[in-house]
Structure 1
Amino acid sequence: MIALVDCNNFYASCERLFQPGLQNKPIVVLSNNDGCVIARSDEARALGIEMGAPSFLIESLLQQHNVSVFSSNYTLYGDLSDRVMTTLSQYTDRLEVYSIDEAFLDLTSFRHHYVTGYAHTIRNMIMQNVGIPVSIGIAPSKTLAKMANRLVKKRNKQAGVYCIDTEEKMQFALQNTAVNDIWGIGSQYTKLLTRNGFVTAWDVSRAPEEWIRKNLSVVGQRMYNELKGISCIPFEEMPAKKKMVCVARGFGKVLSDKNEVMEALANFTAMVAAKLRSEQLATNAIQIFVQTNAHRSNEPQYFRSLTIQLPEATNSTNELIRQARQGFETIYRPGYNYNKTGCTAMELVPAEKIQYNMFDTENRARNSQLMQVVDTVNRSFGKNALRFALQGFGTRWKLRQLKLSPCYTTRIEEVLTINI
């Protein structure tokens, strides 16, 4: 059996954890620059607030119903996610972290009549250790586990666990899942199946195998078997190797000053370098870009990107900033109001497998030692306590986060205090 553990309204639950007065109150979390709704509590959903709704268009609705609004706090969400996954890892030998708020657990070794009780134990322990409510769907395949999880959230979230362990339960789940709600089906398959009279997952599971084989690809056949309770999607216990690392963000305000745009790019490039080092990776190429706001149709528009092949693979901040600066001089054009820039590291290799050029003029050993010092100081004294001059101290390019909650679990100065 396979269990899918999914945190309930994860971002909203993270905010509630440190503000218990928000329990059963409507909450929304906004995207970068406080632009659009990216998460809602059940109470906010009941008010008709849609995912992706621009915050300025629903401002009166938010005020009318006293909705608590938060800027996205990915530092907080990421740390609480790690705590949930650490707790889950204690209850299975095989754990696949599927997303920031979802994970698959292999419960094959458990007999069916023990599984549901075990899932309740997991659910209670996550609440005790972390304080985040979760729903758990259990079934013979990943696709059915996703379906079971969706059913428990939709029909009886308080129960928290739904296990598809009989033919009757499997039929019920399939009959109550529309074709477009089947996990991973995609829009093209949805259209194809709908055109051919399939309405529910039950219809698909009853289709002749010859028709499935003729009309769907290998992925479609795998889905078909998964719906029948045959596990075909393997566990990915190790995270897939990253193909790129990207940091690209919109500015809090539009910028026309060249130095301010470059300062933003330098900071984003430094973030890329730090991410590479934290994952023991190095990059052979970076791509940078600058762009204006396409939604301001009354202003001149400009977008330009540039891929820079590096002489040697590296994860050194100073090397990457230097390369980004040279590229920036090529793509920057004066006279525009820029609202976004970014840096992407590509052609990644393990840092320990870097092959150095004998004619390389860089002092790699010195750079490596310098980066170790920078990372150590910044871990101890805060992000960018040590920085390169080109990163500057400007703030106009920084994200607009007017409703950002404290980083309660990762910054000592923001740890919650209780007066007794």
Structure 2
Amino acid sequence: MFALIDCNSFYASCERVFRPDLRRTPIVVLSNNDGCVIARSAEAKQWVKMGQPYFQVKDVLRRHGVVAFSSNYALYGDMSQRVMSVIEGMVPALEVYSIDEAFADLSGVPGDLKRLGRDIRERVLQYTGIPVGVGIAGTKTLAKLANHAAKRWQEQSGGVVDLRDPGHRDWVLKRCEAADVWGIGPRMAAHLRGLDIRSAWDLAQADPRSLGQQFSVVIEKTVRELAGTPCLALEEVEPPRQEICCSRMFGKRLTERAPIRQAVASYVMRASEKLRAQQSLARKLRVSIRTGMFNPDEAKYANGVVVQLPYPTDDVRLLTRMAIEALDRVFREGFKYSKAEVLLLELCQRGEYTDDLFAASQPLKSGRLMSVLDGVNGRWGSGTLRPAAVPALPDWGMRRELMSNSFTTQVSGLWQVR
């Protein structure tokens, strides 16, 4: 028995927690460099589509009183952790699926599960200020669809939908499209329409084996789960990533090598933090840069290079030095660069690789130094200790002119009551 707990309009809800004056005001959140709309409150959906460029809809939003915010990832990440810790204290096991949703295992939980779903909603709202929806069912795919129904018919459901009853399950399946099912994208939905499979009910009644042979085993599992057969288990521990990427658009076009070096060093620092967090080492790294690709008046250039590291490592000093050397190999004068990317490749866990007896390995003191670095930054804030190549306030950083305070992660951003 599973529950899917999903935050409603998460980014917009985070902004509202510390701005109660905007409780009924439509809100949108913008992507990096205030480029596109990536999140909308329910009230804003009638005025703007997801992914629309902000410069195109700025006047429309202003005319209808829609408030725009730059992405504040520090705030959203911290609020996500708070929401997940509240839920974790109320269920036997939890799988954090994304920044704003999680699967809970309710197998063997006594009592009224729908009442438990309401209790989760009330406690998360009371403790964090974030509204959530809860879907309950016997499979993860049905729980996801139940959550969709909880949001779609929020007034009737009270934000909690339980599909354990076959009658309730069939009612929802018949009123949801196949495209509403978890894992069915627009392209797959078009293929299914060609087979006269239009609703989630049609998909649940289809032959899973034949659809699996025609498309993939993923579709076969989806069909079986819609019919009530569990095929997906709860994953309490996230498996280590096989690649780690850090990529950002610059706040302005860069033509000189020095600021791009700073950017690459900053991205290496962030990627190495993720690497150490999952106890992995990298054997290779890739550095790439590119110009803007859509301005016809700008010359185009994009290039990248893969570097073999001298030994598997998580040492930010070595990674930074190798990344800057790689950048120098692909940098060309005379271009206006808009983006850089650092990709850590061929990751392995500590103690899970066998090397040549005489091959170099990461010194023990490097590991101890990285532990101190992460400990200090974990206690006093990211970037408290950093490589000298990483500036504190870069002028090439992302444009975030509409960003709110980091209310929960920076002393300077604390709420002030006067």
TM-score, L = length of structure 1: 0.93
SS in structure 2 of the partner of residue 390 of structure 1: coil
Q: Distance in 1 between matches of 2:140 and 2:379?
A: 41
In structure 2, list runs of 5 or more residues that go unmatched. Answer: none
1:17 offset after TM fit, Å? 0.4
1:402–1:214 CA distance, 2 compared to 1 (3 A): closer
SS in structure 2 of the partner of residue 320 of structure 1: helix
Q: Answer yes or no: is the 8 Å Cα contact 1:137–1:149 preserved in 2.
A: yes
**Paired positions, count:** 417
1:383 offset after TM fit, Å? 3.3
Give the AA of the match of 1:118: L
Out of 185-194 and 296-305, give the one that drifted further. Answer: 185-194
Describe the superposition over 1:143-190 as per-residue Cα deviations: whole angstroms up to 9, x where unpaired. 111111111111125711011122221111111111222211234532
Describe the superposition over 1:332-353 as per-residue Cα deviations: whole angstroms up to 9, x where unpaired. 1111000111211111122455
1:3–1:383 CA distance, 2 compared to 1 (3 A): closer
Out of 6-15 and 144-153, give the one that drifted further. Answer: 144-153
Q: Distance in 1 between matches of 2:234 and 2:218?
A: 16
Q: Distance in 2 between matches of 1:321 and 1:329?
A: 12
Question: Which residue in the other structure is 2:120 paired with?
Answer: 122
Question: Which residue in the other structure is 2:136 paired with?
Answer: 138
Q: Does 1:20 align with 2:20?
A: yes
SS in structure 1 of the partner of residue 170 of structure 2: helix
Describe the superposition over 1:180-225 as per-residue Cα deviations: whole angstroms up to 9, x where unpaired. 2221123453233211212211122223566546544332222221
1:130–1:361 CA distance, 2 compared to 1 (3 A): same
SS in structure 1 of the partner of residue 250 of structure 2: strand
Q: Distance in 2 between matches of 1:165 and 1:5?
A: 16
1:117 offset after TM fit, Å? 0.7
1:356 offset after TM fit, Å? 7.5
Question: Which residue in the other structure is 2:11 paired with?
Answer: 11
Q: Answer yes or no: is the 8 Å Cα contact 1:313–1:354 preserved in 2.
A: no
Question: Which residue in the other structure is 2:43 paired with?
Answer: 43
1:31–1:114 CA distance, 2 compared to 1 (3 A): same
1:211–1:261 CA distance, 2 compared to 1 (3 A): closer
Q: Does 1:270 align with 2:249?
A: no
Out of 389-398 and 122-131, give the one that drifted further. Answer: 389-398
Question: Which residue in the other structure is 2:206 paired with?
Answer: 207
Q: Answer yes or no: is the 8 Å Cα contact 2:311–2:360 preserved in 1.
A: no
1:276–1:212 CA distance, 2 compared to 1 (3 A): closer
Question: Which residue in the other structure is 1:415 paired with?
Answer: 414
Give the AA of the match of 1:415: L
Question: Which residue in the other structure is 2:234 paired with?
Answer: 235
Q: Answer yes or no: is the 8 Å Cα contact 1:37–1:54 preserved in 2.
A: yes
Out of 37-46 and 216-225, give the one that drifted further. Answer: 216-225
Give the AA of the match of 2:14: C
SS in structure 2 of the partner of residue 5 of structure 1: strand
Question: Which residue in the other structure is 2:189 paired with?
Answer: 190
Give the AA of the match of 1:177: C
1:355–1:211 CA distance, 2 compared to 1 (3 A): closer
Question: Which residue in the other structure is 1:246 paired with?
Answer: 245
1:362–1:259 CA distance, 2 compared to 1 (3 A): farther
1:381–1:230 CA distance, 2 compared to 1 (3 A): closer
Q: Answer yes or no: is the 8 Å Cα contact 1:4–1:104 preserved in 2.
A: yes
1:382–1:204 CA distance, 2 compared to 1 (3 A): closer
Q: Does 1:33 align with 2:40?
A: no
Q: Answer yes or no: is the 8 Å Cα contact 1:96–1:236 preserved in 2.
A: yes
Once the two structures are superposed, the pairs formed by residues 4-403 of structure 1 within 5 Å of their partners are 4-46=4-46, 48-110=47-109, 114-157=112-155, 159-208=158-207, 211-212=210-211, 215-351=214-350, 364-392=363-391, 395-403=394-402
TM-score, L = length of structure 2: 0.93
Describe the superposition over 1:370-417 as per-residue Cα deviations: whole angstroms up to 9, x where unpaired. 333433443454433333332245622211111111111112232223
Give the AA of the match of 1:178: E
Q: Answer yes or no: is the 8 Å Cα contact 1:251–1:396 preserved in 2.
A: no
In structure 1, list runs of 5 or more residues that go unmatched. Answer: none
Q: Distance in 1 between matches of 2:300 and 2:197?
A: 46
Give the AA of the match of 2:406: C
Q: Distance in 2 between matches of 1:80 and 1:394?
A: 24
SS in structure 2 of the partner of residue 33 of structure 1: helix
